[in-house]
Copies of this chain bind each other. A is one copy, B any other.
Amino acid sequence: MRLELMTSPAVAAYLAERPGIVIPIGATEQHGPDGLIGTDHLCPEAIARRFGARDGVIVAPTLAYGMSQFHLGFAGSISLRPSTLAALIQDLVASLAATGFTRIYFLNGHGGNLAPLRAAIQEFYAARSFAGVTEPCPVHCRVRSWWELDGVDALRKALYGAAEGYHVTPSEIALTLASHPDHIAETDRPAPPPLADMILHGGDNYYDAADFRRRFPDGRVVSDASLATRQHGEDLLALAVDDLAKDFFGFCRSV
């Protein structure tokens, strides 16, 4: 049930039954020599839409643009500043709250979104807290990246181990092989550059775009997406839909 393909009265009827909505959020950024630029939003979109259609849950239009500043050194990458992404999230949450949703679930597909996304949700609540409102806010938000869902996480570790890496991961490439088979080839995908060609940074963070390009000249970060297969993608997708269903409905029931 894609929100954009429903009518307003149908949404009103849904809200009488269910409190929740899923918002896929990702990025539009380089994914190495053969990954799709939209990988990070196509993955959560595919999972959320399959889940929404199967279980009768509303899925909002995908947030295709995310916080990808460190990828701006590669053609076709588009980024929002963290503060812009945060403003966007606050407005979505406030809109959904104004029209009656009380369980808002962000299914994320890009690690760089997490800090602005969480900051935005806290900023939304802060307005109430500073104003000293004594009634708890009925609107709850939840953020999950698709790869941290239980079954998905177990499978991707089992399939790829350290080759999963940090960017252009085989699991996300597998997922796009399943969801967009016409746009990415299953075979003859390039092997990853040797680790020796990368200047690893000292932790889990990225700096600016020029620094990223210096460290990872072809855009991939310690991952070997040549391991991905379409069948892996189908399996990951099926697990993700099941995991999401469990997590989403639990969230909807929580008080």
Contacts and interface: CB of A to CB of B under 8 A. Distances in A.
Contact of A69 (B62, B86, B122): B122
A61 B75 contact: no
Interface in A1-51: 2-12, 15, 28, 30-38, 41-42
Interface size class of A (residues with CB under 8 A): 35 or more
Given A12-B75, A92-B65, A99-B77, A137 B207 contact: yes
Given A80-B92, A116-B122, A136-B210, 10 more contacts: A7-B32, A7-B33, A8-B37, A69-B130, A79-B95, A79-B126, A115-B119, A125-B209, A136-B208, A136-B211
Interface of A: 2-12, 15, 28, 30-38, 41-42, 60-62, 64-65, 67, 69-70, 72-84, 86-88, 90-92, 94-100, 112, 114-123, 125-126, 128-137, 140-143, 180, 183, 199, 201-203, 205-211, 214, 219, 250-251, 254-255
